[in-house]
């Protein structure tokens, strides 16, 4: 069974700090990985995707993928209170996504 | 505007009733999906369709049914056989694995 595991948190960081979110996956057939942000009561919105080993940066966000270790992470630099949300990690294969249970992040002003 | 529209936003179901959740997209995506989310949980796949007139069961299909008569539409029926239907239901569409979500329907059994 395909599994994506995340620390459920909650994770609290002070404003301006780096938030680090981690995810592991069991399906070595997964080729693509996605980070979604979900505010309470809202639908998930895509913030990052990564296909290749290494780092991918987009503004304050950096996604990291290590296929050998089956590990994906998301770093949020200069965290803002508006980043407070649940972050969902997902692995993709054959046009299907398997989601983790999410990590709840709170950025304290 | 291109996007995915789910309706209604809130839905209340009496015990023993079937209800249908609507999902329409104008993104010209081939694939469409239905997920269920319970409080504090991730998304679990109910059904998916990669082409018109074809759909496949996901991990938790029991008590649900779908149809895909048009590319733009993928309605989900929650039947009386689904014993615990209270949840947040999300419809998504995609071309590759990158999924785009509708705003969700919150279903409550009363």
Q: How far apart are CA B69 and CA B82, in angstroms?
A: 23
Residues 6+ apart with CB under 8 A from B84: none
Q: Are A95 and B31 in contact (CB under 8 A)?
A: yes
Q: Which residues of chain A have pLDDT under 50?
A: none
Going by pLDDT thresholds of 50, 70 and 90, the confidence category of residue B42 is confident
Cβ separation of A100 and B42 shorter than 8 Å? yes
Pick B95 or B79 by higher pLDDT: B79
Say what the pLDDT of residue B70 is: 96
B102 CB near a chain A CB, below 8 Å? yes
Residues 77-96, chain B, touching A (beta carbon < 8 A):
90, 94, 96
Rg over CA atoms, chain B: 13
Of B43, B44, B97, the CB nearest to A92: B97
B32 CB near a chain A CB, below 8 Å? no
Residue B26 Ramachandran class (φ > 0 left, ψ -120 to 50 alpha, else beta) = alpha
Say what the pLDDT of residue B39 is: 86
């Amino acid at each position: 069974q395909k599994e994506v595991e995340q620390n459920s948190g909650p994770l609290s960081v002070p404003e301006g700090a780096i938030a680090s979110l981690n995810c592991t996956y069991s399906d070595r057939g997964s080729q693509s990985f996605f980070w979604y942000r979900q505010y309470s009561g809202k639908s998930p919105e895509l913030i990052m995707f990564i296909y290749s080993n290494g780092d991918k940066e987009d503004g304050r966000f950096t996604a990291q993928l290590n296929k050998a270790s089956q590990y994906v992470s998301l770093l949020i630099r200069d965290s803002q209170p508006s980043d407070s949300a649940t972050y969902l990690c997902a692995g993709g294969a054959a046009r299907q996504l398997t989601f983790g249970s999410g990590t709840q992040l709170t950025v304290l002003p | 505007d291109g996007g995915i529209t789910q309706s209604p936003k809130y839905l209340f179901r009496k015990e023993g009733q079937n209800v249908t959740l609507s999902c329409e997209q104008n993104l010209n995506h081939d694939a469409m999906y239905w997920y269920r989310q319970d409080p504090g949980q991730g998304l679990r796949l109910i059904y998916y369709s990669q082409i018109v007139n074809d759909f496949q069961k996901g991990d938790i299909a029991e008590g649900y049914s779908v149809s895909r008569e048009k590319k733009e539409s993928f309605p989900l029926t929650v039947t009386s056989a689904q014993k615990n239907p209270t949840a947040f239901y999300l419809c998504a569409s995609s071309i590759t694995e990158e999924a785009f979500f509708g705003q969700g329907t919150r279903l409550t059994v009363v």
